[in-house]
């Protein structure tokens, strides 16, 4: 593994641990040239999954795109990176569990919103407002009213 600091092509593994979900291995490495340490992740290579968009276009599944959307919705909210990464990992498992090569973007958006609703309602509303592309205030208020009613039902 090439050192990210000096570019030297050789390093040694100091520590290896599975990630929380066990889907990857985290390795701490030390460069044999400069002695600096860095982290690498080893993941199982999966077959590519195509995402079918609303307009029927297809694009390769990109977990980083989901992560950026969730991070944007959670900006200035008490949501940790671990929570965000857990959502991304759940969605990634969902997409890869189908077995076929395509998955609907609508189902991905719904899965993210379900997780955000449980984690942080403000982040959920932010994500939903972009994902559902509310066209006016009344459609936005309808979504807020649904959220309030669900909250009351959970309290009863």
Establish if 58 belongs to a structural domain: yes
More confident residue, 119 or 141: 119
Pairing of strands 102-104, 50-52: parallel
21-79 per-position pLDDT tens digit: 777 899 999 999 999 999 998 887 667 889 999 899 999 999 999 999 999 999 999 99
Residues 74 and 100 placed together within one structural domain of the fold: yes
Residues 68 and 145 placed together within one structural domain of the fold: yes
Residue 6 has pLDDT above 80, yes or no: yes
Query: Domain of 35?
Result: 11-43
Q: What is the CA radius of gyration of the chain?
A: 20
Residue 154 has pLDDT above 90, yes or no: no
* CA dist 21 → 33, 65, 86, 91 (Å): 33, 20, 9, 13
Total number of domains constituting the chain: 2
**Sign of the CA dihedral 64, 70, 73, 79?**
negative
pLDDT of residue 153: 65
What predicted TM-score, i.e. pTM, was given to this entire model? 0.64
The span from the CA of 41 to the CA of 16, in Å, is: 9
């Amino acid at each position: 593994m090439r050192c990210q600091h000096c570019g030297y092509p050789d390093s040694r593994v100091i520590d290896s641990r599975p990630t929380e979900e066990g889907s990857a291995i985290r390795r701490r490495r030390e460069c044999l040239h400069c002695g600096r340490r860095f982290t690498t992740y080893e993941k199982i290579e999966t077959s590519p999954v195509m995402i079918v968009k609303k307009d029927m276009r297809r694009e390769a599944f990109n977990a980083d795109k989901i992560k950026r959307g969730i991070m944007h919705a959670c900006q200035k909210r008490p949501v940790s990176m671990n929570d965000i990464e857990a959502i991304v990992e759940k969605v990634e498992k969902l997409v890869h569990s189908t077995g076929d090569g395509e998955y609907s973007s609508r189902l991905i958006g719904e899965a993210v919103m379900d997780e955000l609703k449980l984690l942080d309602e403000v982040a959920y509303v932010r994500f939903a407002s972009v994902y559902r592309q509310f066209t006016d205030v009344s459609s936005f208020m309808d979504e807020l009213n649904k959220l309030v009613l669900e909250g009351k039902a959970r309290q009863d």
